[in-house]
Copies of this chain bind each other. A is one copy, B any other.
Amino acid sequence: MNLTDKPHPWQLAARAEAMNPSAIREILKVTERPGVLNFAGGLPSPETFPIEAMRAACATILAEGSLTAKPSLQYAASEGLPELREWVASEMGKQGATVSPDQVLITTGSQQGLDLIAKVLIDKAAPVMVETPTYLGALQAFSPMEPSIVSVGSDEQGVQPEALRAQLEGMAERPRFMYLLPNFQNPTGRSMSDTRRAEVLAVCQEFGLPVVEDNPYGELWFDQAPAKPLLARWPEGVIYLGSFSKILAPGLRLGYVIAPPGLYPKLLQAKQAADLHTSGFNQRVVAEVIRDGFLDKHVPTIRARYQVQRNAMVAALARELGPTGATWNEPSGGMFIWVRLPEGLNAQALLPKAVDAGMAFVPGAPFYARDPDTRTMRLSFVTSKPEEIDRGMAALGQVVKQALAALKS
């Protein structure tokens, strides 16, 4: 062979040729103008970060004579810290799911869980089902394994059981799994009711369609805890993803996967190949922080804060957008409200005008795997104070009204 006539040495894998910069990432750049009230991000409020508790935990772990200092800084088991795995199993027990610590894999954020699942379960062109719309980060994590993404008809409670059944009946190949975010979904803020969970899972079980249940927001409920997790209802057919990002801090990059025993070894091998193990120091810090029931006191303060802000946004939306014909939901937890603009408007086209007017949102279109509803947008209510929410929604209302007026003229 004569290779010497090819001067450029790097040849991309086909999957990398197909990679595109994240649409959201590009959009968020537009929104990061100083002075603009930002409802576009997906960040938790930094006011909720447990800085004091972390300071104490770090001091304890790294104290002179500490027995945990060296182990927390050394290479560690790919499975994760036993204390954390036990804690996860015990918490899931409180939610009605029987989980052994042996089923818990600690991951570098729950995003990594999605990456590992993709590697273990997705062959090229294999179908994977998602909600309409769905979490963009999941699509990005699945995409290097080149699945065929199938959007399932969804309503204000997520996937519709009849639509799911009709789609499954028409498919030539069983999807590898359906990806669901049952609690306070990103981007819509919607949740699956107890009945909806039962109905959807009945179809899944009938067709042997396994489920990946992603639950980063479940603890952020306002009035009552969400319905029982899917994992509790179908232990052998559900992989569950959890995260410490929204109840402690995302900068720690700590999440977990709960997998049926038969699948666990494959996920573990993928984990080992991906980054050997998740930071043992961060795992030890979190184990120390949560050891004596810290979260039982801490999480309610996050709920209370976010509920006040949710209330402020719902009130402001009614005031400012009510007259325009826009619609929105009133999520019972989480971080996001989903707004649908009046007919004729396009959220993406409206964004530059909103930024000029001093507020930013995320258009909903990128969250659809296909056939986007271009009238939709996502608003985060958790990083802005109520008076900022008032000002931001007023600006949005103005921009929408102007756009409607322009439409009619």
- A positions within 8 Å CB-CB of B: 1, 3-4, 6-16, 19-22, 25, 42-44, 46, 49, 51, 54-55, 58-59, 62-63, 69-76, 107-109, 111-112, 115, 119-123, 126, 137, 140-141, 143-145, 168-174, 176-177, 204, 206-210, 236-237, 245, 249-253, 260, 262-263, 265-266, 269-270, 272-282
Q: A252 and B73: CB pair below 8 A? A: yes
Report which of B13, B43, B54 forms a contact with A126, defined as CB distance below 8 A: B13
> Within the oligomer, what is the number of copies of this chain?
2
Q: A73 and B51: CB pair below 8 A? A: yes
Q: A210 and B73: CB pair below 8 A? A: no
Provide the bound-state CA to CA distance between A145 and B124, in Å: 11
Chain B residues near A16 (CB, 8 Å)?
119-121, 266, 270
Chain B residues near A266 (CB, 8 Å)?
12, 16, 19
Closest Cβ of chain B: how far from A168's Cβ, in Å? 7
Chain B residues near A145 (CB, 8 Å)?
13
Provide the bound-state CA to CA distance between A208 and B250, in Å: 42
Provide the bound-state CA to CA distance between A12 and B122, in Å: 7
Q: B144 and A10: CB pair below 8 A? A: no
Closest Cβ of chain B: how far from A259's Cβ, in Å? 9
Q: B3 and A174: CB pair below 8 A? A: yes
Top-6 shortest CB links A-B: A73-B249, A58-B58, A9-B210, A55-B62, A251-B280, A73-B251
Name which residue of chain B comes closest to A109, CB basis.
Answer: B275
Closest Cβ of chain B: how far from A56's Cβ, in Å? 9
Provide the bound-state CA to CA distance between A151 and B58, in Å: 45
Chain B residues near A274 (CB, 8 Å)?
111-112, 115, 141, 274
Q: A54 and B43: CB pair below 8 A? A: no
Provide the bound-state CA to CA distance between A266 and B20, in Å: 8
Q: B208 and A275: CB pair below 8 A? A: no
5 A-B pairs besides A3-B209, A49-B70, A253-B276 with CB distance below 8 A are A6-B208, A9-B236, A13-B122, A16-B120, A19-B270
Chain B residues near A46 (CB, 8 Å)?
70-71, 73-74
Chain B residues near A282 (CB, 8 Å)?
279, 281-282
6 examples of A-B residue contacts, CB within 8 angstroms: A7-B208, A11-B176, A16-B119, A75-B251, A112-B274, A141-B274
Provide the bound-state CA to CA distance between A403 and B221, in Å: 67
Chain B residues near A6 (CB, 8 Å)?
174, 208
Q: B208 and A9: CB pair below 8 A? A: yes
Report which of B55, B62, B76, B252 forms a contact with A279, defined as CB distance below 8 A: B252
Provide the bound-state CA to CA distance between A250 and B59, in Å: 19
Provide the bound-state CA to CA distance between A273 and B70, in Å: 31
Provide the bound-state CA to CA distance between A58 and B269, in Å: 32
Closest Cβ of chain B: how far from A252's Cβ, in Å? 6
Chain B residues near A177 (CB, 8 Å)?
10
Chain B residues near A74 (CB, 8 Å)?
43-44, 46, 49, 249-251
Q: A13 and B121: CB pair below 8 A? A: yes
